[in-house]
Each structure stands twice: as structure tokens, then as C-alpha cells.
Structure 1
């Protein structure tokens, strides 16, 4: 058995806040993914299971062990307001590692969402709490921790693989109804500049389409559709 709990990395909120202000941008995960030339996009089956709201924030990562899924309650000692909890659960579909009480604890801690490469449950409670969860599946079987009392093996704030993407502590997670994109922390400024430029162009293109512009006119003006 092992338990590894690393401290939360230092994160400049000034690098995160501009992305939070993009919350109203349509298809935000697509815009972010395009700005990284289609890299760092999670698998298509990572979809919202609870509250209908975007998830935007730096990752606090959790790595579980295949075949021995435990509750990750220790993460609440690390997470800070604005964080996103990202869990590597090896795509486990029959054991849920996040439930309604976890959603309540996360909301109280100021966590803005959870992204789980595995299963969650109690999604009705999460909706009541207005807490967003993106996961591979949802199902009623709980982890064994409530019965065994065991909370390890568990690793917190280590590199994880979630939805086919490597996520490091502090990387930016952007999840919406379409999917999930992850921006490496060291690339935040570059990606934001590209994403905002693309978002502005898409808004302008959308307006031209509503005015009746043709494909040729759009390509001539914007260079892409």
C-alpha cells in the first residue's frame, strides 16, 4: 500500500483568470483545442454527468490504482478555491469513485468541478448542488472505502493520464458539453492569445453568416470556416 500526497504547485491566477472570462464563448473546448492545433483533447466519451456549466481551472490531480479503486478524500486537504480535481481511474466503469457527498465537500472547498476517467454516481445530488462533473460513465456501485476503511493506494498531485491526455498538476482544464481540453501550464499565455483571437474571429464569422455571406466570401475575409 502507498499514499503519496504532494503539495499544490504555485499557480499564477493572472494566467488562469483570462480563460475564466471566456466562459460565455461558444464551443470553448473546441476553441481551446484548435488553439493547440488539436492536441491535448480528451477522448470523446468524457462528457458532463451533472450540472450544466463549464469547468475552467487548474488541475489538482489524483491517481488511483486499477482494480483497487478507493475514495480520494485526502484531495480536499490540498485543493483550493478555483481548482479542478482530475482523477485517473483507468477508465473503470463498474466502480464509482465520486458521489454526492464528494460533490458537497468539493463545493464547500471552492472546487469548480471534477473530471474523472472512470465512473461517478449521485449525479442528481451533484445537479442539486450545481456542481459540474465530467466523467466517462456513471453507475451506482460505490468504492470499497466506506466498508473497508482503506484510503490507499492513492497519489495526489502527480502526472496522470485522464481521457487519453497527460495532465500535470496546475495544467488548465477546460470542460464543456462537447468535451475536455487541457492546456499545459507553461503554454497558458501563448494558448490564450491564440484562443481569444480565434473566438473573436468566430464571432465575426457567425455574424457574417447570419447576414447571408457565402462560403467564398467567408474564406476571402477570414481564411477559414
Structure 2
């Protein structure tokens, strides 16, 4: 699996597009399951979360392997993931969609934010969610959950392919999160998806203006009439889009 560097130009484009546009662009390429199901922002942020995936996989905890003392180990995968997730990346956690126990809390996520991560996504729970929500760094989870991860989860693998909210996530895939949720873009097509979505956002802004002015959607969305295409081109020139 290729793992190209996410360019600054592509990152900036993805900050301006919606997860809905990304979902449509990926669907055109036959990719149906790239939306991380069941996660929401801990607290809404103004800008999109954008960054390559750095992953942590949890399995079901076996009681004899997960007493509280395991956190004393300097090799504990949860702690190591927090300390090794590269700046600008998104830490993505596979908790098997089980939010009955937390996958992290505010101290660890604060440390992640201060190390320069672009965000964090878990299909499980977070404890101390209020504190996490106050951070500038975007965070997504299933719901608040007070019990420590050790009660149900064992952190087992770092930066391996995972499933998060039923979406496949490979290390280096690009995560984009907005107020609706999080999309996973395969790394090798991220530049073309960003370019296509910028055009989609422009057209949909035009369409929304037309609808707000009373236009009907048939022949406009999708655009199947020449006069609407001409009107869109004129709108682009007038608005510098």
C-alpha cells in the first residue's frame, strides 16, 4: 500500500470540503464504506480535521492480561501510540464499536494535542469528554464512557490496518472530519479527490443560491440543462470560483 506524503496544498483543499462531497466522489469510484459510522465530534470545531491516519487497534480484554498495573509498562501500546503519533497525523482507534469503556481520556488526548496531532478518532468511548471537547484539536468518538479501557479493551497493535466504525483504515490514509463525521480517503487518490471535491463544493454553492432564490432542482441538480451550466459558468466568473 502506497503512503504518499499529504501535501500542504491538498491538506488546505480538504479543509474546505464537506464529508458529503468526499463520500460522493469516493462512491463514483466504487468505494461505499469510507464513512466512519457511529462517531460524532466531541465538540464542534470551525475547521475540518485533516491528516494521515496513525492507527491503534484494541482487542477484547482478557482479564488476566489487563490489571491496572499494565499502565506502568513503558511499552504499553496505548501510551506508546500517544507518544509516537507523528505531528499532523490523526490517531485512529479501533475499539470494535464498543463504547462501554473508554479508549482514552483527557490527559492522554491533551498530550496528543500538545504533540501536534491533527485530531483523534475512536469508534469507542472517551472518558473526561468535557475536557477533550475544550481542546482546539478535533476529536471524534461514539459517546462519553467513564470505565477505563482495561475493563473491556486491550491495546494490542500500533499503525496496522484497522476497521474503525466499519470503515477500513490503512496507515497513511487521509482522514477528513467535519461536523457531520469522518471520511477515510485512500492515500493513493487523495490529491484527485481533493481537486474534484473543490469543484463539487463550488457547484453546490451555486445550486443552493439558485434554490434559495426559488429555482426547482430538476435540470439543475444534477445539471442536465445547458442554460444552468451557462449560468454556473457566469456565477463562477463573478465569484472568482
Query: What's the TM-score bracket when you normalise by the shorter of the two chains?
Result: 0.7 to 0.9
TM-score for the superposition, normalised by structure 1: 0.81
CA, structure 1 residues 188+21, in 2 after alignment: closer, same or farther (shift >3 Å)?
closer
Answer yes or no: is 1:211 the counterpart of 2:213.
Answer: yes
Which structure shows the bigger proportion of residues in helix conformation?
A: 2
Alignment check: 8 A CA contact 1:66 1:92 kept? no
Q: Which structure: larger Rg?
A: 2
Please list, as runs of the form range in 1=range in 2, the aligned pairs for 1:42-81 lying within 5 A after superposition.
42-53=35-46, 54-68=48-62, 72-81=78-87
Cα distance, 1:140 vs. partner? Answer: 1.1
Map of 1:18 onto structure 2 = 10
Following superposition, which runs of at least 4 residues in structure 1 exceed 6 angstroms of deviation? none
Alignment check: 8 A CA contact 1:60 1:170 kept? yes
Cα distance, 1:47 vs. partner? Answer: 1.1
Answer yes or no: is 1:100 the counterpart of 2:140.
Answer: no
Alignment check: 8 A CA contact 2:3 2:173 kept? no
Alignment check: 8 A CA contact 2:41 2:179 kept? yes
Map of 1:29 onto structure 2 = 19
Alignment check: 8 A CA contact 1:103 1:131 kept? no
For the residue of structure 1 that corresponds to 2:132, the secondary structure is: helix
Structure 1 segments unaligned to the other structure (5+ residues)? 1-8, 146-150
Map of 1:3 onto structure 2 = none
CA distance in 2, matches of 1:210, 1:121: 42
Cα distance, 1:153 vs. partner? Answer: 4.9
Map of 2:134 onto structure 1 = 128
Cα distance, 1:137 vs. partner? Answer: 2.1
Structure 2 segments unaligned to the other structure (5+ residues)? 67-75, 230-241
CA distance in 2, matches of 1:43, 1:191: 17
Alignment check: 8 A CA contact 2:19 2:178 kept? yes
TM-score for the superposition, normalised by structure 2: 0.76
Q: How many residues align?
A: 206
CA distance in 2, matches of 1:124, 1:77: 22
Map of 1:110 onto structure 2 = 116
